[in-house]
Chain A
């Protein structure tokens, strides 16, 4: 009982926003009801949810991986072309490629101490170019359409796609909060100097964080391309905005350290319901992007205002005993 109360208090803002979004969507869209609504929202989890989860890990570690969307597009192109090897094998290979490229990025960033924002904007362009090369600049389609049928099997409101996302979120959540390496990743985001001073291996944790975001991006891209049956050279480009919005709306701090996978799950749920609800009333994708952008702006402004208010309050409390002495 106490734990539940604590949970509601800790995530009150996210719960309120989620309920608001669900309420508004149910009100404006007559078709957005029950199982159908739940199913269409859950189907939004691929690629959004897995990409957001990966991005969140680097943000919790106090870094940025702007290349996730390009990584997803690149892995999608690889996976579709390896389709002949079978569904599981091609998804696995694409994911491993993502993990390796992600580790390489993390290693360079950690080894050289270069700003991850700058380095990953370079790899964002590089991987987009690699996607163009891998697809020869034209959409690549799956030769065997039946291959992806296994991903569309519907189990009540779930499909293997949404179940994968939930599994990824759960595994990453347990990893970050219950294992030593996971906690160390959060610690280098919150208080890097203190973490290093107390013996955290900064380099290998950064490599790990970027390996996770690379792997998540690749997995999401591969799954999403299989669902669509094709990979395009310029696909998934707007995923950076949507994933970033999901992570920040969920309450993960921009400066690192604060927030976990439960925050990310709330953020993904809010953006997924928004997107699914909007498309159920026949709104075009760019209107959804507009609303996501507005929501993102509101959230970062709100977070900024709250942090200023907290800092102001802390400064008042610090001053009080001083005044008493005077």
Chain B
């Protein structure tokens, strides 16, 4: 009797440590985000205004869409892409050029997504065969950058007289379209990764490649799907960004790659694969952009922003790693 009680007590007591860890693990980011917003609303007079929050959301939408779409790659155990900036610039330039030719921004958007998805499939084929994803995307990214620079001769590309700005400025309740697209994107990505077969395959592939293969999941096909999702995100984000700026050139968006990777890492998606979710990457992107905004309001320059983002990435990556180690012990 006593022994069963003690065993039962032991059994019920055991997961407590795990659940504390799980609580911290899954709530760190929302809590951190809330703390940052509350602290800055109190300390920074211009922060909690509608115009400023709107600006944060608009800026988050581009980084966020890409971060959300890259999450599938990270969960599948393929780390991250180091070719984000040049791929996004390519999508933006395709969007502007095709919009300018056809006179329709929607045709431009379709072309941008088609080009990005094609490039995604190509990289997915290479990475799916077993090549290192970081090196592959870095090499492909530099090839894309070189080709874009040659094709545009380094000049600024515009859509001519065609109106492409409506894609970025059309608004509902004072909130412009990119923000809604970002929210929709996050919702769809969440549904796809959590509630569909392909999403589960992506999780399993990242958690344990050998087991995934033994249970009949094709690593190649799964990796290609992840890269297709990434391609859609890059295409949409590139088109939206080009429509915000009305123009694009090869050297644009230099800091984007690091912002997106930071958003995914801060979101807490395990880079070893198997764990994570697009919604967390979306929150990670929001945190990164909000921090940049606060720095700007306090008159601190880009250096502080990059330094702080780097610091948060390092600290959170280490903290989450230690937490996971504790919870699996």
Contacts and interface: CB of A to CB of B under 8 A. Distances in A.
Interface of A: 64, 66, 108, 112-115, 117-119, 121-133, 135-137, 233-234, 237-238, 240-241, 244-245, 248, 254, 284, 286-287, 289-294, 296-297, 300-301, 304
Interface of B: 79-80, 126, 129-132, 134-136, 138-143, 145-147, 149-150, 154, 250, 254, 258, 261-262, 265, 271-272, 301-311, 313-314, 317-318, 321-322, 325
Q: Which 7 A-B pairs have the closest CB atoms?
A: A290-B146, A132-B303, A129-B307, A126-B310, A129-B306, A125-B310, A293-B142
Nearest to B261: A121
Contact of B271 (A117, A234, A287, A297): A117
29 contacts: A113-B325, A118-B265, A119-B314, A119-B318, A122-B317, A123-B314, A124-B310, A125-B258, A125-B306, A126-B310, A128-B258, A132-B303, A136-B301, A136-B303, A233-B303, A234-B254, A241-B139, A286-B149, A287-B150, A290-B143, A290-B149, A293-B145, A294-B143, A297-B136, A297-B140, A297-B143, A300-B132, A300-B136, A301-B126
Main secondary structure of the interface of A (DSSP, over half): helix
B241 to A, nearest CB: 20
Contact of A293 (B131, B146, B254, B317): B146
B140 A129 contact: no
B143 to A, nearest CB: 4
Given A137-B302, A137-B303, A248 B318 contact: no
A36 to B, nearest CB: 26
Contacts of A131: 303
A245 to B, nearest CB: 8
Given A123-B314, A132-B301, A115 B272 contact: yes
Given A132-B306, A290-B142, A300-B139, 20 more contacts: A112-B322, A114-B318, A115-B272, A119-B318, A122-B310, A122-B313, A125-B258, A125-B310, A126-B314, A129-B306, A133-B304, A137-B302, A286-B146, A286-B154, A287-B146, A289-B142, A290-B145, A292-B142, A293-B142, A297-B140
Contacts of A291: 146
A287 B143 CA distance: 9
Given A112-B318, A286-B149, A293-B146, A129 B304 contact: yes
A244 to B, nearest CB: 7
B150 A290 contact: yes
Contacts of A254: 132, 135
A48 B193 CA distance: 41
A314 to B, nearest CB: 16
Contacts of A241: 138-139, 142
Given A129-B305, A234-B254, A289-B145, A297 B139 contact: yes
Contacts of A301: 126, 131
Contacts of B146: 286-287, 289-291, 293
